[in-house]
C-alpha cells in the first residue's frame, strides 16, 4: 500500500509539472537552458551535484514556476 501511495503522488506531481511546461513555452525554454548549462559544466553527466544545481527546475517541480 505504501508503494502505491508514493507512486501516486510522484506521478501527479510529474503530470502537473509537464502540463504547465507544455502550456508556458517561456518557462520550458528557461528550464531547457538551465539544464543545458548545468550539464555542460558536468561533462553531460547526470550526478547528484548537477541535479542539485538546477534550482529553476526544482522550483518548477515544486509548483513555484514564477518565483525566479
**For the segment 13-27, what is each residue's pLDDT rounded down to a tens digit?**
888 889 989 999 999
Q: What is the mean pLDDT of residues 27-48?
A: 95
Find the domain containing 38 and state its range. Answer: 2-61
Residue 66 within a domain: no
Between 48 and 4, where is the model more confident?
48
pTM comes to 0.77
Residue 68 within a domain: no
Q: How many CB atoms lie within 10 A of CB 35?
A: 16
- Give how many domains the chain has, as a whole number: 1
Residue 23 within a domain: yes
Q: CB-side exposure of 28: number of CA atoms within 13 Å?
A: 9
Amino acid at each position: 500500500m505504501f508503494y502505491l501511495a508514493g507512486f501516486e503522488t510522484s506521478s501527479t506531481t510529474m503530470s502537473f509539472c509537464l502540463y504547465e511546461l507544455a502550456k508556458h513555452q517561456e518557462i520550458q525554454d528557461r528550464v531547457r537552458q538551465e539544464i543545458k548549462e548545468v550539464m555542460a559544466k558536468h561533462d553531460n553527466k547526470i550526478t547528484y551535484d548537477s541535479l542539485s544545481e538546477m534550482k529553476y527546475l526544482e522550483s518548477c517541480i515544486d509548483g513555484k514556476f514564477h518565483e525566479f
